[in-house]
Structure 1
Amino acid sequence: MCKKMIAFLIFLAFFIAPAGTALGAGIGQEAALTGWLSVVWGDGSDGSAESGPLFFLATDDGGPGMALSISPQALEAAGGIATIDRQQVRIYGARQSAGSGESFQVEKIELLSPQSQALRSGVLGKQPWVNILCRFKDSTGVTPHPVAWFSTLFGNAYPGLDHYWREASYNNINLNGTTTAGWFNLPKKRSEYIPGGQLDLGLAVRDCTAAAEAAVYFPEFIGINMMFNDDLDGYAWGGGWCLSLDGVNRCWNMTWLPPWGYENQSPLAHEMGHGFGLPHSSGPYDATYDSKWDVMSNTWDCFTRDPNYGCIAQHTITYHKDLLGWIPASRQYVHTASSLARTIHLTNLANPSPADGDYQMVKMPLPGGQFYTIEARFFTGYDGVARIPGEAVVIHKVNSADSRPARVVDASNNKDPNDAGAMWLPGEVFSDSQNNITVKIVSKTATGFEVAIGGQSKRSFTAQGSYDGQVTESRRNSNKGGKANASSAMIMVGDDAANRRVCAIFSFNTASLPDTIQIQAAQFVLHRIALTGAPTRLGNLWVDAQKGYFHTSPKLQPADFQAAAAAENVTRLTAKNTTYQAAIPAAYINLSGLTQFRVCYNDDNRNSRADYLTFHSGNSANTALRPKLNITYSP
């Protein structure tokens, strides 16, 4: 079957029109209307021209409505189609004249109940549809298929649609409870439903559901498939429709299907996808039905054919599956601008591996609310050989405000999103230099692909000194602490005129570092204020390390002078001008609490003169010169 083109309709079904909504406003006058908004998509037959988008304001019974023109700015400001579909809204704009009657120019859309029937809450669990078989008045003798044929079409055996949607949703939904009723005879001829060559969707809904009213209790179903016995206006239609049936006002999933729309499983799956709230996807070009990666794009070329149910659908893309709530957060890897470089295993989308750590999708946010999605496709299940272009990693760029939000990233830019330019294979690298993004396909595995995603290769952490101070030896060679000073803005290290050593204690809170990191480097930094006497004659300035605190408290204590350390003389401070630094081995950084250092000379010089270095402490007025522990790490 050749590619189809699109007509795109959006309807507003208004159950309540309270006083003051300006329904009686004249031509050109501003007005505000309140009701439930739903979206209907039209997919044309072989060789049909593209039209749309067209917008209509339907009455509460689904009858003829006012044409709407929604500005792109209003649609984008509202968050795109997925945000407003089947939502209670208030629209602002003005009535206008049109050749076939009045229309309404929409300039603003306001959500009134964002959580009601929200698509983003997920499509989960039992999803029963009723198939209503309707015959036009002038062709009541034409019955394309018996009820049993439709029952098998919706069954749980290949290629039944219950079987298809279970696989596509990872068993998140099923069509249990779906039934078929008919055939029913309509009260009007086919031509009466297609005035001017365009299907009157509301009239078709009203008459087809009325014909089935005695046999169907509609509130038991989430969706209604209307199967007609003759062609419609050259299109099959799918989306949502808001009306009152059996005393219940709500928005139903809805399809309008000519024989070619249900005698082939794939266009029926496509229209039901619109019923579930899915838009089209495509390549990055003008064509709507050019991507063979998605049932919601080019499912019209007949890739594989069943003898009874015609062309068979492939899977939908990861953006759509996530939109419907079928990919858990634990199976999504979100890589932001601040993320570190990482290699992940991306399992195939149709039959994902259950292994922990395998991801079904990658999402990479971009400025302005757009994002990339990355998925792996294999020849398996409904993604079998010939239904998708190949086994590869596929990247989409998503703009939720677009009528076709997800568009294939095609490196060759040759109008074909199904060739080698759109299939990312081992050794190939996708790069978006403007957003500092690189994606390298490392290797192919039995169930997917190893994918290396670029980002920040290292992350830095700085802890500032606290609980620091100096402890003076009680007497020469006692090796025990005497006087402790934790309140000064300066810290001294060396010996005094009584040849007593003076040691400093520095404390850093490193508990906020993630437990799973790999420390690449840790640098202990002090800034000298002054030099008194000849401390360089005291030898090396040694650093002892402790994971936690030296004695019995994180606060400075005299016993910190002689308390045991995790490692003594683990490194030494070296000077460059007035900055003193020491590289600290990663093993002595405490990821669950404090990290403390003791800085001492190992002996005095017995000259009965004060010899010491003076450093800024954690109490220094100049925060830039306070003691610091700079850590560089990666996951």
Structure 2
Amino acid sequence: MNVRSGWSLLVLAFTMAFATDARAHSGNTIDGVYTYVIERPYQGASRRVDMITADDGHRIKLDLSAASLPPEGLAGIRNRRIRVAATDTTARAEAMGISENFRVRSVQVLSDIVGFSRISAVTGNQKYISILCKFSDKPAVEPRTPAYFTTQLNNTYPGFNHFFREVSYNTLTLDGSQADVAWVTLPMTRVQYNALGAPVDYLGAMFDDCTAAANATVDFSQYFGINMMFNDKVDDTSAWGGSWFSTLDGVTRSWPVTWMPYWGDGILFGWNDHGVLAHEMSHAFGSLHSKDPSGFEYGSSWDVVSNPGGTCLVTQAGVAGYGCIGQHPVAYNKIAMGIMPAARIVTHAAGANLTAYNVERMTQPPMAGGTFQVIKAAITGTTSQFYTIESRKRVGYDQNVPGDGVIIHKVTTGNPQPAHLLSPLGTAANLGDIDALWAVGSVFISVPDNIKITVNSFSGDGTANVTVQPATDPGTFTFALAGTTVIEGNTTAAVIAVTRT
């Protein structure tokens, strides 16, 4: 509600699209704050837009590679002030002169500067405001009342304060979150916004106009994140989530943001679907997608940040409802968001001797002594790759996962979708559901990574006993029907001798 203020050079710059003036930067590098936005299309492939808001206010698209990132991947630079160096002078000139992506050779994390309030963690109480935005050609269309959106954020099932409390083991709360008191009307139609060009152009304009229209009744300095709820589609395909660097009510920082569309009451997509909103808010909290065994980023029903709502067997239907109920993120995505308590993570050192661990279910764990939530199995010679082992059971907000049991991911932090779900059946398409479970007696072996993972038991309360040890030359094995052993991607589920070649 206050007049917006901040760095003098930034006040006007936040309404600009991407930079076209190379004189604003020095040499072959750019200093500024890194943010991203990620698309959740109704169908088809996703886009992630990486950007840097330079210290002089220009916003520039980045072309990042895994080789340019720190070992933590994007988690190591998100919302941080960084210095990016171009791959060559041509790459920099193209980015600055004709709005091509700035092709990045290296990234260096810098110290913050005066006036910038950086988000250091998403734990604790983080209030959200949902602002309700109508396009100028649909001023009479208000699909739900403000009360609907306030209830959506509250601390009773399936409100998002309640959801994120469970997902984070009460390390993250949304107390005090609410919707704005009324819908506000934007100065343009949806078609006019989309005609501005690339997604970041129209998403940026929507952000500026929505927050400006709501500024009379919202003091943004009192909130952590912003949900923008529209009365129509945002574009032809998608919902979006991530963070946006701006100055609102005197606070200059990266704001966790979602752009949530309305596709009509007959289509569960956007703000009227619990899973999709949980997916986008997880992006805003710092999670990337995971991917199924085939590499498809929307194919894992074990992760709300992959296939939101999973099986969608549990819904809250009707006009007053919230659609398919979202499931928990997978373990690595919780780690990336910073909401997995450190005491619940156990690291199995690379090459360490056989060790058995008790891993409790991801959802509403009993928290028994000597148990963990996730095993992080290290790989010799790298900190940017490791395995995660977790247990899932269909209780709480995990009722829409495909089944009960153990799942395994291989994580590569520099990948666009770091957590790769592994299945006993290999890497074919459509294995991101029940086929990804590792039954009791199942064994995963990777000789190159020198790791062997065995599921020894799975109890009725969802606690799994799992051993991790170095891989040895498999030689010849005999497999029992009770489980499956996977060696370098080969599988069997019968009593049969298999010789490694």
Q: TM-score normalised by the shorter chain: which range applies? A: 0.7 to 0.9
The residue aligned with 1:213 is: 215
The residue aligned with 1:232 is: 234
| Change in CA separation of 1:85 and 1:117 when aligned onto 2, cut-off 3 Å | farther
Deviation per CA, 1:109-159: give whole Å up to 9, x if none: 21103899777x542111101111010111001001001111111111111
Letter in 1 for 2:78: D
Q: CA deviation at 1:216?
A: 0.7
CA distance in structure 1 between the aligned counterparts of 2:165 and 2:337, rounded to whole angstroms: 13
* 2:352 corresponds to 1:339: yes
CA distance in structure 2 between the aligned counterparts of 1:379 and 1:388, rounded to whole angstroms: 6
Q: CA deviation at 1:430?
A: 1.4
* 2:73 corresponds to 1:80: yes
Give the conservation status (yes or no) of the 8 Å contact 2:451–2:471.
no
Q: CA deviation at 1:51?
A: 5.2
The residue aligned with 2:149 is: 150
Give the conservation status (yes or no) of the 8 Å contact 1:60–1:243.
no
| Change in CA separation of 1:84 and 1:24 when aligned onto 2, cut-off 3 Å | same
The residue aligned with 1:126 is: 125
CA distance in structure 2 between the aligned counterparts of 1:91 and 1:184, rounded to whole angstroms: 38
Deviation per CA, 1:267-302: give whole Å up to 9, x if none: 001110011011111123231100000000011553
Letter in 1 for 2:281: M
Which is worse superposed, 26-35 or 325-334?
26-35
Letter in 1 for 2:411: V
Task: Look up the SS of the partner of 1:96 in the other structure.
Answer: helix
Deviation per CA, 1:379-433: give whole Å up to 9, x if none: 110111xx11111111110111111011111221222333554211111111122
The residue aligned with 1:317 is: 330
The residue aligned with 1:177 is: 176
RCO (CA 8 Å, sep 6+): is it higher in 1 or 2? 2
Q: CA deviation at 1:348?
A: 0.6
Which is worse superposed, 260-269 or 303-312?
303-312
Deviation per CA, 1:417-465: give whole Å up to 9, x if none: 33554211111111122333222211221321122222599xxxxxxxx
Letter in 2 for 1:34: D
Q: Which residue, out of 279, 286, 289, partners 2:298?
A: 289
Residues matched between the structures, number: 433
Q: How does 1:619-634 map to 2 (within 5 A)?
A: none
* 2:200 corresponds to 1:187: no
| Change in CA separation of 1:283 and 1:142 when aligned onto 2, cut-off 3 Å | same
Give the conservation status (yes or no) of the 8 Å contact 1:125–1:172.
yes
Give the conservation status (yes or no) of the 8 Å contact 2:424–2:438.
no
| Change in CA separation of 1:155 and 1:106 when aligned onto 2, cut-off 3 Å | same
| Change in CA separation of 1:455 and 1:67 when aligned onto 2, cut-off 3 Å | closer
* 2:278 corresponds to 1:269: yes
Q: CA deviation at 1:101?
A: 4.3
CA distance in structure 2 between the aligned counterparts of 1:374 and 1:219, rounded to whole angstroms: 39
CA distance in structure 2 between the aligned counterparts of 1:419 and 1:185, rounded to whole angstroms: 42
Give the conservation status (yes or no) of the 8 Å contact 1:78–1:110.
no
The residue aligned with 1:450 is: 465
Where does the alignment leave 5 or more consecutive residues of structure 2 unmatched? 1-8, 14-18, 87-91, 263-268, 473-501
Give the conservation status (yes or no) of the 8 Å contact 2:151–2:159.
yes
Letter in 1 for 2:415: D
The residue aligned with 2:429 is: 415
The residue aligned with 2:40 is: 43
* Structure of greater Rg: 1
* 2:269 corresponds to 1:256: no
Deviation per CA, 1:327-359: give whole Å up to 9, x if none: 333322211134232222111111212211011
CA distance in structure 1 between the aligned counterparts of 2:56 and 2:257, rounded to whole angstroms: 14
CA distance in structure 2 between the aligned counterparts of 1:196 and 1:218, rounded to whole angstroms: 26
The residue aligned with 1:245 is: 248
CA distance in structure 1 between the aligned counterparts of 2:117 and 2:351, rounded to whole angstroms: 35
Q: How does 1:14-33 map to 2 (within 5 A)?
A: 15=10, 24-25=21-22, 30-33=27-30
Task: Look up the SS of the partner of 1:431 in the other structure.
Answer: strand
| Change in CA separation of 1:23 and 1:197 when aligned onto 2, cut-off 3 Å | closer
Deviation per CA, 1:74-118: give whole Å up to 9, x if none: 2x3574211111000122221206997454333222110389977
CA distance in structure 1 between the aligned counterparts of 2:61 and 2:348, rounded to whole angstroms: 42
Q: How does 1:507-518 map to 2 (within 5 A)?
A: none
Which is worse superposed, 32-41 or 374-383?
32-41
Deviation per CA, 1:27-61: give whole Å up to 9, x if none: 9995322111111111112x3x3254444455789
Task: Look up the SS of the partner of 1:435 in the other structure.
Answer: coil
Q: How does 1:150-169 map to 2 (within 5 A)?
A: 150-169=149-168
CA distance in structure 2 between the aligned counterparts of 1:180 and 1:420, rounded to whole angstroms: 38
Give the conservation status (yes or no) of the 8 Å contact 2:37–2:49.
no
Letter in 2 for 1:416: N
The residue aligned with 1:373 is: 388
**Which one has the bigger strand percentage?**
1
Deviation per CA, 1:179-235: give whole Å up to 9, x if none: 211300111122221116754111111110000111111111110111111111121
Which is worse superposed, 89-98 or 99-108?
99-108
Letter in 2 for 1:108: S
Letter in 1 for 2:125: K
Name the Cα RMSD after superposition: 3.0
Task: Look up the SS of the partner of 2:278 in the other structure.
Answer: helix
What TM-score does the superposition give when structure 1 sets the normalisation length? 0.63
Deviation per CA, 1:231-270: give whole Å up to 9, x if none: 1112111011110111221111111111131011110011
CA distance in structure 2 between the aligned counterparts of 1:364 and 1:114, rounded to whole angstroms: 33
| Change in CA separation of 1:73 and 1:26 when aligned onto 2, cut-off 3 Å | farther
The residue aligned with 2:440 is: 426
* 2:316 corresponds to 1:306: yes
* 2:218 corresponds to 1:203: no
Give the conservation status (yes or no) of the 8 Å contact 1:375–1:395.
yes
Letter in 1 for 2:341: P
| Change in CA separation of 1:68 and 1:229 when aligned onto 2, cut-off 3 Å | same
* 2:451 corresponds to 1:441: no
Which is worse superposed, 268-277 or 363-372?
363-372
| Change in CA separation of 1:397 and 1:315 when aligned onto 2, cut-off 3 Å | same
The residue aligned with 2:4 is: none
CA distance in structure 2 between the aligned counterparts of 1:319 and 1:435, rounded to whole angstroms: 19
Q: Which residue, out of 366, 380, 397, partners 1:382?
A: 397
CA distance in structure 2 between the aligned counterparts of 1:55 and 1:334, rounded to whole angstroms: 31
CA distance in structure 2 between the aligned counterparts of 1:61 and 1:270, rounded to whole angstroms: 32
Give the conservation status (yes or no) of the 8 Å contact 1:23–1:33.
no
| Change in CA separation of 1:273 and 1:28 when aligned onto 2, cut-off 3 Å | closer
Give the conservation status (yes or no) of the 8 Å contact 2:455–2:466.
yes
Give the conservation status (yes or no) of the 8 Å contact 2:440–2:456.
yes
Letter in 1 for 2:102: F
Give the conservation status (yes or no) of the 8 Å contact 1:442–1:451.
yes
